[in-house]
Amino acid sequence: MSTFIAGLALGLSLIIAIGAQNAFVLKQGIQRHHVFLVCFICALSDALLISAGVAGFGVLVKQFPNLEMIARYGGALFLVWYGLRSLYSAWKTNHALTPQGNSNSSAWHTALLCLAFTWLNPHVYLDTVVLLGSISTQYEPEKLQFALGAMTGSFLFFFSLGYGARLLAPVFRHARAWKVLESAIGMIMLLLAFKLII
């Protein structure tokens, strides 16, 4: 049980920082737009990456550093595009709608965006595959319990963030709040893109 708790604690500590993926989940939660789908994709992706790390994929990533470089530049391009899109929305879009009606993206489009935020982020590979994978070796022969703890942390975090965000909904009934959120998300995305390429 202590191995499971160790995995849970480490998994939560790695994903709790505000990043592109978390900002996207927060926005979808406030809008109450495909929340379950977004939370499930994020958590399941984490679970797959954690499984790969614990199974030894981290060694492969270390042997082929070009994989990390490709993910880094691809992720930076995506973050720049999304950041500029958010800033444009903050400047031009009429946000005088309720959170529930503020987005009309299809489930398919939302899922693709969510997958991009997850799989084009090189930090997710470093955290889940390399770091968790290497730490899991300390818990032989209970690596499975460690991995299950880390996966549970991902599911707890993303579903709490996605569904807890609706508590902020009264604030976002005002157009100015949406403009501030879109501006903040845009700046976070551009800052993260800059950090990826320096």
Question: What's the rounded mean pLDDT across residues 12-39?
Answer: 85
| Separation CA 47–CA 21 (nearest Å) | 15
| Separation CA 74–CA 115 (nearest Å) | 13
Token readout for 190 is: 């551009």
Q: How many helices (DSSP H) and strands (DSSP E) are in the chain?
A: 10, 0
Residues contacting 118, CB < 8 A, separation 6+: 21, 41, 42, 45, 46, 124
Kindly report whether the peptide bond that precedes residue 65 is cis, defined as omega within 30 degrees of 0: no
Q: Smallest Cα–Cα separation from 42: which of 17, 19, 70, 21?
A: 21
pLDDT tens column, 144-188: 898 999 999 999 999 999 999 888 878 777 778 878 888 888 888
If pLDDT is split at 50, 70 and 90, which confidence band does 29 have? very high
Q: Residue 191: its pLDDT value, please?
A: 84
Coil, helix or strand at residue 80: helix
- Tell me: pLDDT of 138 over 90: no
| Separation CA 20–CA 190 (nearest Å) | 10
Q: Residue 68: its pLDDT value, please?
A: 65
Domain encompassing residue 43: 2-197
Q: Smallest Cα–Cα separation from 38: which of 48, 47, 29?
A: 29
Q: Residue 187: its pLDDT value, please?
A: 87
pLDDT tens column, 75-131: 788 778 878 988 888 887 765 444 444 456 789 999 999 999 889 877 777 778 777
Neighbour tally for 2: CB within 10 Å:
10
| Separation CA 119–CA 109 (nearest Å) | 15
- Tell me: pLDDT of 34 over 80: yes
Global pTM reads 0.74
How many independent structural domains does the chain possess? 1
Q: Residue 158: its pLDDT value, please?
A: 95
Q: Smallest Cα–Cα separation from 173: which of 98, 102, 101?
A: 98
Q: Residue 102: its pLDDT value, please?
A: 46
Q: Residue 81: its pLDDT value, please?
A: 85
